[in-house]
Amino acid sequence: MQICDKAGFGRSLFERLVLLGHRKHLLNVQYRMHPSISLFPNMQFYDNQLVDSPSVKVKNYEKHFLSADMFKSFSFIDVAFGEDELDEGSSRRNMVEVAVVSEIVLNLYKGNAI
């Protein structure tokens, strides 16, 4: 692990290129998120510099496979009693949230199983 740290493998390729003197260039068109989802990161992290691609603005991009409000473009689920903890490295995890997400995925699978 120490050898990897010394070699700089804990940094992303992008970070290493910047450290080598390459200029940063913001790719300002996002193609994957529904505009209602991209709104927050655009305001918080990109100073409103991101533009939604026309492909994510079309009406049929917002597909609802399940009817409950919870399954629209995004939803927030308040998970009580969970606590963040450090794993063996420096990452954080919340096992109560893991259990809730696992249950949701299982129910989605059962609801769509043929």
| Domain residue spans of the chain | 77-114
pLDDT at 64 over 70: no
Confidence band for 63, pLDDT divided at 50, 70 and 90: low
Nearest one of 97, 91, 94 to 77, comparing CA atoms: 97
Q: What is the pTM of this model?
A: 0.45
Residue 41's pLDDT is: 92
- Express the helix, strand and coil content of the chain in percent, nearest 5 each: 45, 5, 45
Long-range contacts, 71-76 (Cβ 8 Å, 24+): 73/34, 73/36, 73/37, 74/34, 74/36, 74/37
30 contacts 51 by C-beta, under 8 angstroms:
yes
